[in-house]
Amino acid sequence: MHTLILSISFSVLVSVFLKLARRCQVRVDQAIAMNYVTACALCLWLLRPPLESLGRQTPSGWVLLVLLGVLLPAVFLIMAAAVRQAGIVLSDTAQRLSLIIPVLAAFLVFHEALSGTKGLGILLALGALACLLRRPVAQDAGATPGAPPPPAMPSGEPIQTGRRIWLPLLGVWAGYGLIDILFKQMARTGSGFTSTLLLSFSLAGVLMGLWLLIRRTQWHARSLASGVLLGALNFGNIYFYIRAHQTYPENPTLVFAAMNIGVISIGALVGAGLFRERLSRTNLAGIGLALAAIVLLFPR
C-alpha cells in the first residue's frame, strides 16, 4: 500500500508546485520540458537501466515507449487547446472522467475478475468523482502520472462554444485514460520497465523541446530551474505508480481508482488547507465516498 500512498503524495506535490509556479510567474511549458530532462537523469542515477539493452526492445516495447513518449507531451498540448476553447471546468471534468477508460480496460484487457464488491467500489468511485467535481473554482490537481493539469485561462480570452470544443475535450478524456493503461502495461514488463521508462522520458523531452523551439520560445532561467524540482516530483509519482501496479498485478482497478480519487480527495484537502479553497458539503461527501471505494477495491 505504501507505493500507492507515495505515488498519490508525489502527484499532489506536483499539483501544488504547478499552482505555486503560476503565482511565481514560472512558465509551465518550459518547466515541463526541463522536467523530462531531470526525469531522465534520475532514471539513470537511481534505476540504473541496462544501457546496452536500450536498443534491444521487443516490438511491443517499442510501441509502448513511442506511444508514451508522444502522448506525455501531446496530452499537455491538447489540454492547453481544450482550456482555450472550452474553459478550465469542462477540461478538468474530461480529465477526471478518463478514469472510466482504465477501469474498463482492467476487465476487458487485463482480465480482472468483476465481483459484487468491486462493482460497488467502482460505483462509489464514480459517485465520489461526481461529488468532487462540483466545485465553484476548477482545480489544478492532475491524477494521471506524468501529465500536467490544465494551464490557467488567459485573462480576457473568450471561451468558444459549438461542436468543435468537444474535439479537444475528447482528446483530453482519451489521452489521460490511455496513459494510465500504458503505465499498467509497462509495469507488466517487470524489471525491464526501467529501460522503457528512460526512453519514453527521452522521447517526450525531445518532442517538447522541439515544440518550444518551433514556437521560438524565449528561454526563462527561473522556469528551467523550477523544472528540475518538477522533474524530481514527477519522477517519484510515475515510479511509484508503476511499482503500485507491480505490487497489485491482479487488481489494476484498485490502482486506477485509488490514484485518481486519492489525488482528487487529498488535493481538495490540501487546497482547502494551504490555499483556502472552499469545500462544499458535496465535496466532503465525495471524499467520504472515495475512501469507502478504496476500502471496497482493496484486495482481501
CA distances to 61, 160, 166, 242 from 190, in Å: 12, 45, 38, 10
Cβ 280 vs Cβ 134: under 8 Å: yes
Q: What is the pLDDT of residue 155?
A: 40
Q: Which amino acid is at 183?
A: F
**Tens of pLDDT, residues 254-274:** 888 778 777 777 777 777 777
Q: What is the pLDDT of residue 266?
A: 78
Of 54-63, 176-185, 221-230, the one with minimum mean pLDDT is 54-63
Q: How many residues does the chain have?
A: 300
Judging by beta carbons within 10 Å of its beta carbon (0-12, 13-18, 19+), is residue 127 exposed, middle or buried?
A: middle
User: To the nearest whole percent, how much of the chain has pLDDT over 70?
Assistant: 80
Confidence class for position 203, pLDDT limits 50, 70, 90: very high
Strongest mean pLDDT among 27-31, 39-43, 75-79, 284-288:
39-43
CA distances to 117, 124, 248, 251, 296 from 300, in Å: 11, 18, 11, 11, 9
Q: What is the pLDDT of residue 296?
A: 79
Give me 30's grid cell. 518550459
Cβ 241 vs Cβ 255: under 8 Å: yes
Average confidence (pLDDT) over 118-124: 84
**Tens of pLDDT, residues 205-254:** 999 999 999 989 898 899 999 999 999 998 998 899 888 888 888 788 78
What CA–CA distance (Å, rounded) separates 70 from 80? 16
Residue in 4, 33, 48 with CA at minimum distance from that of residue 198: 48
CA angle (235 as vertex; 229, 239 as ends), nearest 5: 155
Confidence class for position 277, pLDDT limits 50, 70, 90: low
Q: What is the pLDDT of residue 72?
A: 86
Average confidence (pLDDT) over 55-71: 82
What CA–CA distance (Å, rounded) separates 251 from 92? 26
Does the pTM surpass 0.95? The reply is no
- Sequence spans of domains, the chain: 2-297
Q: What is the pLDDT of residue 36?
A: 93
Q: What is the pLDDT of residue 190?
A: 67
Q: What is the pLDDT of residue 208?
A: 92
CA distances to 12, 123, 273, 292 from 281, in Å: 22, 20, 16, 17
33 vs 278, higher pLDDT: 33
Q: What is the pLDDT of residue 185?
A: 84
Its sign, for the CA torsion 42, 43, 49, 53, is: negative
132 vs 64, higher pLDDT: 64
130: how many CB neighbours lie within 10 A of its CB?
15
Confidence class for position 64, pLDDT limits 50, 70, 90: confident
What CA–CA distance (Å, rounded) separates 148 from 30? 12
Q: Which residues contact 157 (CB under 8 A, 6 or more apart)?
A: 84
Q: What is the average pLDDT value for the chain, to the nearest integer?
A: 78
What CA–CA distance (Å, rounded) separates 187 from 244? 9
**Tens of pLDDT, residues 93-120:** 667 677 778 888 888 888 777 788 878 8
